[in-house]
Structure 1
Amino acid sequence: MTVEEYLAIPYILQVWSRECEDGRWVRHAEFPELPGCFAEASSAVEAVERAEAARVAYIVEKLARGEAVPVPRPPLEA
């Protein structure tokens, strides 16, 4: 597969809010199928943008090193 094909894979994106110890709230965005691909920010949009940048960098770096990129399993059939 090419870099473009890997980047087109629809990985699951999870976003939630959490309260920090100092009382601030942050938004956490994460691609759970890709280790380390997450980000936090004060807005959900910014957290998603940062997580997406981490996803792209992760895929590009793994492929450049000749390593396998995790691919989600196909959906279950009804």
Structure 2
Amino acid sequence: MEQRLRDCLSVPYLLAAETVEVAPGSWISRVAYPELPGCSAEAPVVEDALHLLERKRIEMIVRMVGEGRAPPRPRPPLGDCDPVWVARQASLSDEIIALISSNGGNQDALAPG
């Protein structure tokens, strides 16, 4: 079954977040998508951690689809999600944004050639 990259990137994942004291008076925010194994980030400021997490989520899903692997899909894609806008907000490369934009982003467009 053909996977559309846009659909894979529109799947909502549960977010886990915590703020942790790593040394006396030194705190970091840790965020993760537990349903997407290995997708986590941390930073001193929660907004920065979320930005890093979203960037990592997109990169992981693009890589998985490009390799022909199905990303976890715990629920259906959101119909009103705009993965291109999200990728731009996450400061991803023009190449990744073009992949998401092209032909609905099917996995054939991502296959190594």
Q: Give the TM-score normalised by the residue count of structure 2.
A: 0.61
Whichever structure has more helix as a proportion of its residues is 2
Match of 2:12 in 1: 10
**Equivalent position to 1:68, from 70, 73, 80:** 70
Match of 1:44 in 2: 46
Structure 2: gaps spanning 5 or more residues = 77-113
Cα displacement (A) at 1:15: 1.3
Q: Who wins on radius of gyration, i.e. which is larger?
A: 2
Say what the alpha-carbon RMSD is for the aligned residues: 1.3
Cα displacement (A) at 1:73: 4.8
What stretches of structure 1 move > 4 A for 4+ residues in a row? none
Identity, in percent, stands at: 36
Match of 2:32 in 1: 30
Q: Give the TM-score normalised by the residue count of structure 1.
A: 0.86
Structure 1: gaps spanning 5 or more residues = none
